Each structure stands twice: as structure tokens, then as C-alpha cells.
Structure 1
């Protein structure tokens, strides 16, 4: 069985990897969007897997931002849990997880082995269960379900507020993209154009600042992909030689349009999808997701985004 420090290292490492991957994806998709190019997250799957094997270097502004993001996320979730269950509820599990942000930072430069996003989330859940053994079971389940998404939200906020952290992350992201140029250029439309724009520090920062809704969709898709891996629910869209005069929107989960909060019933859909877009011509925008698509929905933040049981 892993030791306490190994569990802390896994928790910190997976949270940093997941937050980095999600913020990187959101930045890439928003950068492409600024050029009128619509990238579906499925096109970045190989990029996810590559980035989940190597983390930003400990002791840099970006890892310090990740430490702050973990602490902020845990505090947000702790407040939500206390609000739900009352002031006398046991919150020791939250304090232990918060401590992971400090105690494991120097030990978590890389994960032990290559991981898909789903495998990383499973590793996080297992490490949390072992670290928090004997603590309030409801609190543990809540953290397993909500922690990675809340850390991703907090990490994006830290990056947009800290110039040094953003510079550090931007350099790391450019390196990761360079490592995957061959794979990405063959699958993503106008990749070279997007890659060039991504290299501009201020333009890519503005893309991240504008990517809140994209990040919410990505968080939802990560969560749904994990459920889908357990249930085996997969949908295939064969769009060969399809012509669409306006927008094309396809999702294995729900399609929610208009303003307002994302409905709770849509958050737990367990599904995934593959898209064959050979010869597709679309007059408007393209939105395709293995989970659900939220068009114009208010991003979820804080306690109302991760309601505890």
C-alpha cells in the first residue's frame, strides 16, 4: 500500500497535471476560436495523454500558482460542504488535502507512469481514499468528485492574475505543443496558424482569460469520460461528406442552449463519442463533444458548481 507521502505526491501531481491540461486545452481552443477556427476537445486527446506524463518544474512560479490553486479550491469546497451540512460538521479531511499542496510540491515533478485523463482521475480518487481513510465518508466522496474541477478553475484564475506564473505556464505549454506538432498538425484544422498565434504571450493570455466557458465544458467532459469508461457508453458520429449551411452541434450527452445555469441533470451523463468528419463542410461554427455541450450557459463557480451530497 502506498505511504502517506506517496499519496500526497499523487494527489498533488494529478491535480497539477489535470489543471495544466485543462487550462492548456482551454487556451488552445480559445486561441483557435479567435482565428475563427473551431477545435473540438476530442482532437486534443493525444495531447492530453502526452502532457499527463511530465509536469512543470517544482519551485517555479507556475507550481507556486498550482499550490495556491489547490488551497483555494479546497477552501471553496470546504465552505460549500460546511454550508450544506452545518457548522458542526467534521472538516479534517479538507485540511489534510489542503496540506498536500505544501508537503508534496517538491516531490511531484513527474507522475510515475504515463496516464490518460481517466486513469489520472482514478489515481487521484484512490490516493484520496487512502490518505483520508477513517474520515467522514461523505466528505471523502465529495472531494473525490469535485476536487479536480475546482482546482482547474482556481488554477486558471491564478494564471490570469499572476504575470510570472502565466509566463512560466506559457513557456511550458509552448514546449508541450512543440513536442506534439506532428500529431496535432495532422488532426487539427489550421494548426500552424493557431500555433503561431499561441506563441504571442499577450494574445494567448487573453485567450485564457476568455476561456471560462470552454474550461467548464472541458471539466464536464473529463468527468463524463470517467463515468463512460466505467459504463462503456460510446457514441459514434459518421459525418462523411456532410454539408451544413449553419452551425453543427453534436454531443453524446445533452445540448443546452441559452443563458442560465447548467442544469444539474446534465452534469452526470456518462458517455463518450467519436466523430468522423471526413469531407464535412460547415457554414457556421462546429461544437462536438463526447459529453454535453453548453452554449451560452453560465459557467459554474464556487460552491454552487459542486454541490455536496
Structure 2
């Protein structure tokens, strides 16, 4: 993943119909889709407008009070995702069922509600399942659930707030030296694995080929071309620190692309900001528990990270 991302300036090329049409034509030809010339001509303006609309939502969110930020950020991300889907699904939206959100939240308890314990359920139809399938080749997610705490622990930019707030390490930083990457062997304790078992585990899950270096040190070192991979899961890129990190929570979401995680969090926060006004207002004004700093830190990071993840996806095609 690239650290040369220049926020919205990186998107400038896409705000040209000629460039976007050529870009889409390449995407469609790579997928051997029918009529790439015609489809790219038809889709270049919808593609640009999705990106432009998304940009407007994000820019407004940065200027807006926290109370309405989740709503703006969620719809900003939705528009950027729709642009990505057009690169792999030229007939989108084929049916009205794909226009749903694709996730749902349970009925909230008014007393002692905790955001980190809240959960979202994945639906059969809608943007979430379509994005998972078309962009990341993930299927059969219907009926699965995720708690907000699980999702938050897989956002690398929240490492600092988790350490300060809960005294909990959620990521192991990865140091980089050319194509050689290293991380402390202390993470073996977190995974309750021997070094060899961990290496087998890492290699079996890795989205990119990697080879371990046999050095008798306190580190586990490996060679890989991470810059050439869209998202080298299970490693995640911390945009604030500009370095990779290895997640220490190997739950069900361990290999979920980060874009899906941001979608789940923003969907739920957006629903809360719209429909749970009393709880949301009290959280912002009274700051009664650990939910507030976690949510605030996430919103601060997703303003930058959402557009970054979308840009990486578009450029790796």
C-alpha cells in the first residue's frame, strides 16, 4: 500500500471523463466483460459523480460537528464504494435489492447501552454483501454478526487509544527495511503459538507471498512485496504512523478487508446519530464512558482512511 497518498488531490485524474473512460475500459477488458468500449462510455460520468459526491460528503464531515459526522461519513463512503463497484460490475445497480445497506442493527436497550457491545447482522442483499462479493470475492456472509468492539480492535489507527484507555495492545507494529519486515516475537504469547506454528499460520492466511528469514533474534523477519499488494492481509496499514501492523485479535473478522470494517462502524454510528438522538447527544455532551474516546478517535481517522482505502483499491486494478 502506498504512503504517497495526497488525500483528495490523488483523485484529480479521475475527475476527467476521458481519463475515467479509459480507466474503466481497462478494468472491463481485464475482466473480459462484453462491450468494454460502450460500457466504459456509459459509466464514466456515473463513476465520476459517485467519486465527486463522496468527496463532498467527506469535506463537509471534516467541517461539521461530531453530532452529524457519522451520517456524512457513511454516505460519503457509500458513494465511493459505488464508484468501486462500477469498476467490476458495469450494470450496477441491476436490481433495487442491491440498493439496501446490507446490514442491520438490533433493537437498542435504553439502559446501560454500550457501543462496543452492540452488533450488526449481515443481510443477504444490499451494498455490504455486494461490496464483499464483487470487490473482495467473499460470499455467504448472510446471517453473520460482528460486535463493534471486535471491529474497532481491527482498526490500526486506534492502537494508541486502546493502549492509553484500556492498557491493551491490539496490534504488533511491523518495522520495514526495504522488502524485509520484522515484528517482535512477543506476539507469540498473544497467539499462544510456537514460532514455527505462528509462521505456518501467517503464511496460510497471507494475501501475498512471503518468505521468513532464519535469524536468531528477538524478531520474526520476512521478505515480501507488500507495496505491490492492495491490502496484504492479515497485515493492516496504519496511515497515521505510515507503517504496517499485525492484528492481535484473530477472531472471525481477522481477514476482513478494512473497507468492510469502516462500513460496518459508520453504518451503525450513522443509524445511532439519526435514530438514537438521546443516547448520542448524551454521549457527546456527558462523555460518560469509554465509548466516546473510541468513537471520536475512529471518526477522526476514518475521515482520512476511507478515501485512502478507496484510492488504493482503484489504483491496484
| Greater gyration radius | 2
Q: Normalization by structure 2: what TM-score?
A: 0.28
Q: Which structure would you say has the larger RCO, counting Cα contacts within 8 Å and 6 or more residues apart?
A: 1
